[in-house]
C-alpha cells in the first residue's frame, strides 16, 4: 500500500526535547542559586528531575514544588529568577533536529499529508511548533487536551486518522517511544518508523517498527 500521510510524534522526534529541558533547567537552577538559593547545583538538578518524574515532565508548577521541597517555602524573587532564566534558555534550545525542515518541505512537495500526535498539552505543543516555525507544515495536530488520553491509547491515533482522512494502512507513524508510539500505531494498522536518533529506549522484539531511522531525513528514502 502506498504511503499517503505521515504522522509524527513531536518531542524527541522532531525536536531534541530532553536537551532543551536539561539546558533550561540548568539555567533556572543557576539563576536561583545566584538569587540566594543555598544548594549545590548537581543536587538541585537531581531533586528537580525526581519531581518531574513524579509530577510529569510538562508540570508547570515544578519550580514552586522544588522550592517547597528544598527550602520549605516559596521565595517569589528566587522563583521569578528561575522561571525567567528557564524561559530564555528554552527559546534558545527549542530547535528541530538537523534536516527536519528540508525533510518536511520535500514531503509536502511530494503531496503527502502531515500531522502530529503528541502527549504534550495543547499550548505546549503549539508553542514549540510556532517557535520552531514548523506549524504551517501540518494538516493535523492532536495533543493530550484533544482526547484526554496518552499514547498508546487508541483515541489520539483515531482522532488523527479521522482528521487526516486516510486509511491507517496508508499512514506512516514516526516516533521515538516504542511502548507508546510504535505499539499504539501498530495496533491501528499503521506502518511505523522508530526514530532511533532521538530515543533513549530500545524497542523489544514485539515492538519492532517497520523502519528504523538514524536521522529524520531517512524518511525520504522510505516514501520514495
Instruction: Identify the CATH number of the domain defined by range 18-93.
Output: 1.10.150.520
Longest dimension (CA), the chain: 61
- In the predicted model, what is the mean pLDDT of the chain? 93
Residue ranges of domains in the chain = 5-16+95-223, 18-93
- Span 197-222, average pLDDT: 83
Phi then psi dihedrals of residue 212, to 5 deg: -120, 125
Residue at grid coordinates 517498527: 209
Residue at grid coordinates 511505523: 192
Tens digit of each residue's pLDDT (9 = 90 or more) over 175-204: 999 999 999 999 999 999 999 998 876 655
CA angle 68, 73, 76 (to 5 degrees): 105
Grid coordinates belonging to 216:
529524520
- Span 128-152, average pLDDT: 95
* Sign of the alpha-carbon dihedral angle for 96, 100, 104, 105: positive
pLDDT the model gives residue 203: 55
| Confidence band, pLDDT 50/70/90 cuts, at residue 134 | very high
pTM of the model: 0.84
Instruction: Identify the CATH number of the domain defined by range 5-16+95-223.
Output: 3.40.50.1000
* Contacts made by residues 59-66, CB under 8 angstroms, sequence distance 24+: 63/28, 63/32
pLDDT(4) > 60? yes
Beta-carbon contacts of residue 184 (< 8 Å; ≥ 6 apart): 151, 152, 153, 154, 156, 157, 173
pLDDT(43) > 70? yes
pLDDT(206) > 70? no
pLDDT the model gives residue 58: 86
Amino acid at each position: 500500500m502506498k504511503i499517503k500521510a505521515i504522522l509524527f510524534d513531536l518531542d524527541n522526534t522532531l525536536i531534541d526535547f530532553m536537551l532543551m529541558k536539561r539546558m533550561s533547567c540548568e539555567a533556572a537552577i543557576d539563576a536561583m542559586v545566584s538569587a540566594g538559593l543555598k544548594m549545590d547545583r548537581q543536587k538541585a538538578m537531581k531533586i528537580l528531575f525526581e519531581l518531574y518524574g513524579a509530577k510529569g515532565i510538562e508540570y508547570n508548577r515544578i519550580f514552586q514544588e522544588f522550592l517547597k521541597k528544598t527550602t520549605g517555602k516559596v521565595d517569589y524573587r528566587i522563583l521569578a529568577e528561575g522561571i525567567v532564566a528557564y524561559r530564555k534558555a528554552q527559546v534558545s534550545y527549542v530547535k528541530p533536529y538537523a534536516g527536519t525542515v528540508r525533510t518536511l518541505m520535500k514531503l509536502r512537495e511530494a503531496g503527502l499529508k502531515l500531522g502530529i500526535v503528541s502527549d504534550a498539552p495543547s499550548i505546549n505543543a503549539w508553542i514549540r511548533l510556532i517557535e520552531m516555525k514548523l506549524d504551517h507544515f501540518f494538516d493535523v495536530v492532536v495533543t493530550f487536551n484533544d482526547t484526554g488520553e496518552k499514547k498508546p491509547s487508541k483515541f489520539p491515533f483515531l482522532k488523527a486518522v479521522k482528521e487526516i482522512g486516510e486509511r491507517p494502512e496508508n499512514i506512516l507513524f514516526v516516533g521515538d517511544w516504542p511502548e507508546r508510539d510504535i505499539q499504539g500505531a501498530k495496533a491501528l494498522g499503521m506502518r511505523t518508523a522508530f526514530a532511533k536518533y532521538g530515543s533513549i529506549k530500545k524497542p523489544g522484539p514485539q515492538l519492532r517498527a517497520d523502519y528504523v531511522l538514524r536521522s529524520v531525513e531517512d524518511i525520504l528514502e522510505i516514501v520514495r
